[in-house]
Amino acid sequence: MAGSTAPSLAAAAESLWSVVAPGWPGFSVEILPEIDSTNTELMRRARAGRTEPVLLVTERQTAGRGRMGRAWTSAPGDSLTFSIGVPLSPAGWAGLSLAVGVTLAEALEGYCGGVSAAPHIARTHIALKWPNDLWLRGAEPARKLSGILVETAGAATPDAPRYLVVGIGINLQAPPAQGLSTPPAGLRELVPGAQAGAVLHAVLPPLMDALRTFEQQGFGPWHERFAARDALHGQRVCLSDGREGEARGVNLQGELLVHTEAGLQVVNSAEVSVRPQGAAGSTGA
Ligand code: BTN
């Protein structure tokens, strides 16, 4: 749904609650006009002992955060910014942000109907740049459409679930490109009237289902689906620690495999950032 028929954020939130709550007892939906960062807020609450399942959406973040200490900037009305907080007990956390990325890309493609409305983009395809960026493909160069920030807060006792916070920023309108080597993308290139409420409605239920599936089965169900969207596969890449090589997909832990002069290296997302060789800077918002 897009344009004037799209549900407002408030209407979407209400119907989302009734879809999600049966699978997540105690689930609540909160929409705030402004906050520093939805991730920061849910992490604050978790540290204060509030660990119930929640969706926190805001129209404006004053201190949005990206991975590796970067800022995430977004303009009200031109982006969808939200965080999901849930207590979760997976056997391990490896690959979670990739599973979220695949699920988000599939849901966004579903929202776009798989058909591009923009004449210069031949085919809607949302690729994943390891570990957690969504890139819009079809018109080269690929440009960043969305980013994911996964954080966890410790449990009160060793046996209790940790509290997971998954923060997602989606550009509806492409933000200004200043300072970036590649301009970012916006969903309205594909769906001109795309509104936050309709997009949230399309992506939240599959994301909540994905978290449950991940808890039970880990990254396995997403491994091949990630490979089908892997933007780095076969590309020369530079790692922020100086290593260079050719990206060779990810293993079952969601770690990036890079063939370097020293052989096949396994790269963990907590350690380094990675960019395709030749890209001078971040493609993020
Ligand atoms: C990245 O690309 O490095 C991750 C960006 C994540 C941005 C989202 S917006 C909602 C949530 N709150 C934040 O402060 N960050 C995430």
Give residue 262 CA to ligand 1 midpoint distance, Å.
34
Structure tokens at 270: 């907590």
* Of residues 280, 276, 279, 273, the one with CA closest to residue 66: 273
- By most ligand atoms within 8 Å of CB, the mutation choice from 36, 148, 149, 150 for ligand 1 is 149
Handedness of CA 275, 58, 114, 101 (dihedral sign): positive
Continuous segment of H or E residues that includes residue 230? none
Of 270 and 167, which is predicted with more confidence?
167
Mean pLDDT score of the chain: 88
> CB of 66 closer than 6 A to ligand 1?
yes
Fold (topology level) of 232-276: SH3 type barrels. (2.30.30)
Give residue 153 CA to ligand 1 midpoint distance, Å.
17
Sorted by sequence, the CB contacts under 8 Å of residue 6 that are 6+ apart come out as 193, 194, 195, 197, 198
**What's the CA gap between 171 and 184, in Å, rounded?**
8
> CB of 83 closer than 6 A to ligand 1?
yes
Pairing outcome for strands 256-260 and 54-58: unpaired
Indicate the pLDDT class of residue 137, thresholds 50, 70 and 90: confident
Look at residue 280 in the predicted model and tell me its pLDDT.
Answer: 43
Residue with tokens 């890309």: 105
Inter-residue contact 196 to 3 (CB < 8 Å) = no
Q: For the whole prediction, is pTM greater than 0.85?
A: yes
Structural domain spans, the chain = 9-225, 232-276
Indicate the pLDDT class of residue 148, thresholds 50, 70 and 90: very high
| Nearest residue by C-alpha to atom 7 in ligand 1 | 169
Inter-residue contact 83 to 38 (CB < 8 Å) = yes
* Of residues 6, 5, 231, 259, the one with CA closest to residue 133: 231
51, amino acid identity: T
Q: What is the CATH number of domain 9-225?
A: 3.30.930.10
Average pLDDT value for residue range 239-261: 93
Look at residue 105 in the predicted model and tell me its pLDDT.
Answer: 96
What backbone phi and psi angles, to 5 degrees, belong to 229? -120, 10
Average pLDDT value for residue range 84-98: 95
* Atom of ligand 1 lying closest to residue 67 CA: 3
* Atom of ligand 1 lying closest to residue 66 CA: 3
* Atom of ligand 1 lying closest to residue 146 CA: 2
**What's the CA gap between 211 and 24, in Å, rounded?**
11
> CB of 184 closer than 6 A to ligand 1?
no
Q: In degrees to the nearest 10, what's the CA dihedral of 16, 21, 24, 27?
A: 80
**What's the CA gap between 260 and 73, in Å, rounded?**
34
Give residue 138 CA to ligand 1 midpoint distance, Å.
24
**What's the CA gap between 270 and 179, in Å, rounded?**
25
**What's the CA gap between 54 and 75, in Å, rounded?**
23
Neighbours of 172 (CB within 10 A): 22
Lowest mean pLDDT among 23-32, 129-138, 265-274: 265-274
Cα 126 to Cα 89, 106, 109, 192, 256: the distances in Å are 29, 8, 7, 17, 19
Give residue 150 CA to ligand 1 midpoint distance, Å.
9
The reply to whether omega before 131 is within 30° of 0 (cis) is yes
Look at residue 116 in the predicted model and tell me its pLDDT.
Answer: 52
* Atom of ligand 1 lying closest to residue 64 CA: 14
Neighbours of 219 (CB within 10 A): 23
Give residue 149 CA to ligand 1 midpoint distance, Å.
5
